[in-house]
Structure 1
Amino acid sequence: MKFVSSNIIKKIDNYCINELGISELVLMENAALKVIKNIDLKDNSYFTVICGTGNNGGDGFAVARHLISLKKNVQVFFVGNVEKMTDSCRANYSILKNMEVNIIFIQDLKDIEHLEVYLVYSDVIIDALLGTGINRNVEGIYDTVISTINENSQFTVSIDVPSGLNSDTGDVMGNCIDSNKTITFELYKSGFLNYNSEKYTGEIIVEKIGIPEFVISEFHDGGFVTDKDIFKKKVAVRDKYSHKGNYGRVLIFAGSEQYTGAAYISTEGAVRSGAGLVTLCCDEDILQTLRSKFNEAMTISSKNIEGVNKLLANSNCVAVGPGMGDNENTYKVLNFVLKNSKCPVVIDADGINVLSKDLSILENSKVPVLITPHPGEMSRLTGLPVDYIEKNRIKVAKEFAKKYNVIVLLKGYNTVITKGNSVIVNSTGNSAMASGGMGDCLTGIITSFIAQGQDVIDAAVTGAFLHGYCGEMLSKEMFNVSASDVLDAIPYAIKKLQN
């Protein structure tokens, strides 16, 4: 699923209207019909529609007309100056006036009292007040209207975007409608990906309103949200004649005396997600402990230089970092791997921590590099505050990827994956997975998928999707989900997604 900024939406609309000759009123009518489609008309009879002066308000007037035609009880409110209406908004407003529909203008506190009465007795409130494109704080009567709706509405449906929500950033512009459902058109809005936006959008439904696909492709600037189809397309069903040699060799540098679990989880993640041969390279003092835990994975001591070099030369993907410790030895291992690897390298955890002290070593690599930081690690890499990163996840990830020629997987809610140009946002996962070891598990999965032949960015996308999908699947019956739970679920989830 594609997502875009309000500027791209404006360009798409303008092209359809000015170049293709699709009337703005046609698009508005289609939008209204799709809103009607997503309202429970069987169990709801009383509606209040609140409209503004822009095209969002025009959508609202059109929705009101259809509800009236369906013999529903509808009260329409208008906020703003009629003289400032867009042409299409005025057209739909005029139709209602010609139908002798009573439209109450909200101008002062007395009008707010009228609104409050209707809100209390309505089954559904339709928010068509502001829509996309808002770039300054909501003030005055608009602020009061939004607060009144939030305080009195039983169920609110927003058209395109909740009024007061910045559709590009997801920031609340002073005040915002608290919707139960948002019906948005053609494309997901980038602001919906913000950490906090879900509590304002409620359920998001994307509806087509008649814009040709080639127009969307022409203006779309490379933002995608993952879905099951992407996973199914990239993770192929196994050929019945294949053998372990067809599914890649993985080498993982992980673990220390304090963090043996990270080494185990990342290695087992690679095994459980289907890599043909998996080897863990770790310190001599934890080798026996970890060796006793594995049935399928192999182990090698970091002191066995000849053996490590041989494995490095023959691997299809290498991972560095989980549980290794933020120390000089981890730095030396990472630097060595970047200089000598013949295959893609995944850097996680302490690999990222030591990298943050000397980003120049990325120049040593002649192979694709994927880094998988959480916001704290991204802060150490960039020097930017965590709060800033959380609010600008896509921007920060893209800029770093482009500057250092790496692929970035910035972990967290709506994980961001980018090479620096297009951006893919992961749609799976939830807070039940908020526990230690989850990142190590993800590293193992991604490393395995790369070794099995996926392009690095494809493996990051499918790995993140699978990881989050496992967590969602398990959380239906579990209060919290551990990394070990995800490890057990991986092969079953892959099969389910492929089918």
Structure 2
Amino acid sequence: MRIATSEIMRKIDNYCINELKIPGIVLMENAALKVVSNLQLDKYSSFCVVCTKGNNGGDGFAVARHLHVLNKEVNVFLLGNKDGMSDDCRINYNILKEIGVNVVNINNIQEINILRDSIEKSQVIIDAMFGTGLSRKIEGIFDSVISMINDKGKYVISIDVPSGLESNTGEILGNCVKANKTISFQLYKRGFLNYNTSNLIGKIVVEDIGIPEIAINKFYNNECIVDESMIREKIKVRDKYSYKGDYGRVFIVAGSDGFTGAAYICVQGAVRSGAGLVTLCCSEKIQPILSSKLVEAMTMSFDQKEKVKEMIEKSDAVAIGPGMGNNEVTYQLLQYVISNAIKPVVIDADAINVLKGRANILKNKKCKVIITPHLGEMARVTGLSIDYIKENRLEVSKKFAKDYNVIVLLKGYNTIITDGYTTLVNPTGNSAMASGGMGDCLTGMIASFIGQGHEPMEATYIAAFIHGYCGEKLSKDMFCVNASHILENLPFIIKKFTGEFMKD
């Protein structure tokens, strides 16, 4: 599912209308039909459609016409005067008048009672006030009507974008409709990714309204949401003649005294997601503990310097950071790994924390690097506040990825994965997974998929999607999902995405 800003949508619309000669009224009609198809007409019979004079209002007038033709009870309102009404909106407005549908014009607070009555009596409120182009603060009668919809509406559907939501940032422009469902068109709006929008947009449906691919591809900026089809397409099916060497050597540098669990989970994340050979490098003090627990992986200590160098050089992927501690030893080990590695390196946890003020070491490398911070770690390494990063996750991630030529996986709701040029958003996972060890598991999985032959960007989004997907499935029957539950179920979930048994 591709993501767009309001500027991109405007360019696409203009290109369709001016260059491809698709009349705007055709796109408006297609949009209206898709809205109607999502209205559960077998369940609901009375509708209140609230419109303004722009194209979003035109969509609403067209929806109202179809509801009238279907013999539904429909009350239609135009907020504000009709001076300056867009051409396509005026066409649908006039059609309604011609077929005998009364459009009540609400110009001031004194006239608002009739709208309040309709909102209270109707089963469904259709918000067709403001679309993706809104940039000014909601005020006056529009503010009052939005508050009334939120207070009195039983079930609210927003067309394209909940009115009052800045579609690029997810910012509330003074006041915003709280929709139960948002029916958006063609591309997912970037503002929907904001942390604060989930209680405003409700269930999201993105409908194709007949915009040709040539128009989308001309302006689309390589941002999309990962879905199951992408994972099924990319997961490698195992050939029956393959052996462990075909599925990668993964080298993991992790753990410290008191933090053996992080190292264990990271290693198991690699093992359970299919890596052929996994070796843990840890301090000599904790090596006996982890050797006894890791029956399917090998261990060695930091002190075996020549062997460490050899393992870094011959491994297909290296992961470093979980449970190591934010200290100089961790920094020295990270620096050593980066300077010696040729194959991709996944940097997580304390290996990110030690980059505070020293991120320039990421610029001098011969290997691909994937950095996997949560918000706090991203704040430390960038010097930006957590609140700022929350509001600008895409921009912050893309800039860091470009500046340091790395892949960034910024964890959290709608995890961001970007190399600075292509950006993917992972929609899987939920708060049932909010517990220690989840990130360690993900780090091991990313390294594992790289070891199995996936390109670093590909391995990162596959791991993120499956990790979150596994947690979602388990949370249907569990109050909380821990990393150990993910590890236990990973092979079964990955098998689901191969879609077939071993190749002949």
TM-score relative to the length of structure 1: 0.99
1:123 counterpart = 2:123:
yes
CA distance in 2, matches of 1:212, 1:248: 42
Letter in 1 for 2:159: I
Structure 2 stretches lacking a partner, 5+ long: 500-504
Letter in 2 for 1:114: I
Q: State the partner residue of 1:418.
A: 418
Q: State the partner residue of 1:162.
A: 162
Deviation at 1:65, TM superposition (A): 0.4
Q: State the partner residue of 1:136.
A: 136
1:297 counterpart = 2:294:
no
Q: SS of 2:293's equivalent?
A: coil
CA distance in 2, matches of 1:385, 1:309: 37
Letter in 1 for 2:155: F
Deviation at 1:110, TM superposition (A): 3.0
Deviation at 1:444, TM superposition (A): 0.4
Deviation at 1:108, TM superposition (A): 2.2
CA distance in 2, matches of 1:349, 1:486: 19
CA distance in 2, matches of 1:199, 1:497: 31
- Higher mean Cα deviation, 112-121 or 384-393? 112-121
Whether contact under 8 Å (2:267, 2:278) holds in the other structure is: yes
Q: State the partner residue of 1:259.
A: 259
Q: SS of 1:453's equivalent?
A: coil
Task: Map 1:307-456 onto structure 2 (within 5 A).
Answer: 307-456=307-456
Structure 1 stretches lacking a partner, 5+ long: none
Letter in 2 for 1:383: G
Deviation at 1:278, TM superposition (A): 0.1
Q: State the partner residue of 1:277.
A: 277
Whether contact under 8 Å (2:49, 2:74) holds in the other structure is: yes
Deviation at 1:162, TM superposition (A): 0.6
Q: State the partner residue of 1:208.
A: 208
Q: State the partner residue of 1:184.
A: 184
Kindly provide the CA deviation profile for residues 268-304 of structure 1, in whole angstroms up to 9, marking residues without a partner as x: 1000000000000000000000111011011011111
CA distance in 2, matches of 1:43, 1:253: 57
Q: SS of 1:84's equivalent?
A: coil
CA distance in 2, matches of 1:351, 1:235: 28
Letter in 1 for 2:355: L
- Higher mean Cα deviation, 354-363 or 479-488? 354-363
Letter in 1 for 2:112: I
CA distance in 2, matches of 1:63, 1:361: 57
Letter in 2 for 1:464: A
Q: State the partner residue of 2:90.
A: 90
Q: State the partner residue of 2:502.
A: none
CA distance in 2, matches of 1:489, 1:351: 28
Whether contact under 8 Å (2:81, 2:107) holds in the other structure is: no
Letter in 1 for 2:371: I
Kindly provide the CA deviation profile for residues 293-317 of structure 1, in whole angstroms up to 9, marking residues without a partner as x: 0110110111111221221121000
Q: State the partner residue of 1:28.
A: 28
Q: State the partner residue of 2:175.
A: 175
Q: State the partner residue of 1:75.
A: 75
CA distance in 2, matches of 1:397, 1:410: 7
Q: State the partner residue of 1:226.
A: 226
Letter in 1 for 2:360: S
CA distance in 1, matches of 2:318, 2:231: 22
- Higher mean Cα deviation, 487-496 or 387-396? 487-496
CA distance in 1, matches of 2:27, 2:266: 50
CA distance in 2, matches of 1:111, 1:122: 18
After superposition, the CA RMSD in angstroms is 0.9
CA distance in 1, matches of 2:193, 2:468: 16
CA distance in 2, matches of 1:26, 1:104: 25
CA distance in 1, matches of 2:6, 2:460: 28
Deviation at 1:120, TM superposition (A): 1.1
Whether contact under 8 Å (2:435, 2:482) holds in the other structure is: yes
Q: State the partner residue of 1:458.
A: 458
CA distance in 2, matches of 1:210, 1:363: 44
Q: State the partner residue of 1:470.
A: 470
Deviation at 1:364, TM superposition (A): 2.8
Deviation at 1:111, TM superposition (A): 2.1
Q: SS of 1:417's equivalent?
A: strand
Whether contact under 8 Å (2:235, 2:497) holds in the other structure is: no
CA distance in 1, matches of 2:364, 2:267: 25
CA distance in 1, matches of 2:411, 2:40: 37
Kindly provide the CA deviation profile for residues 34-82 of structure 1, in whole angstroms up to 9, marking residues without a partner as x: 0010111112111110001110000000000000000111110111221
Aligned residues: 499
CA distance in 2, matches of 1:105, 1:252: 67
CA distance in 2, matches of 1:75, 1:309: 74
Deviation at 1:25, TM superposition (A): 0.4
Letter in 2 for 1:284: E
Deviation at 1:171, TM superposition (A): 1.1
Deviation at 1:231, TM superposition (A): 1.0
CA distance in 1, matches of 2:363, 2:89: 56
Letter in 2 for 1:326: N
TM-score relative to the length of structure 2: 0.98
Whether contact under 8 Å (2:81, 2:105) holds in the other structure is: no
CA distance in 2, matches of 1:482, 1:41: 42
Letter in 2 for 1:56: N
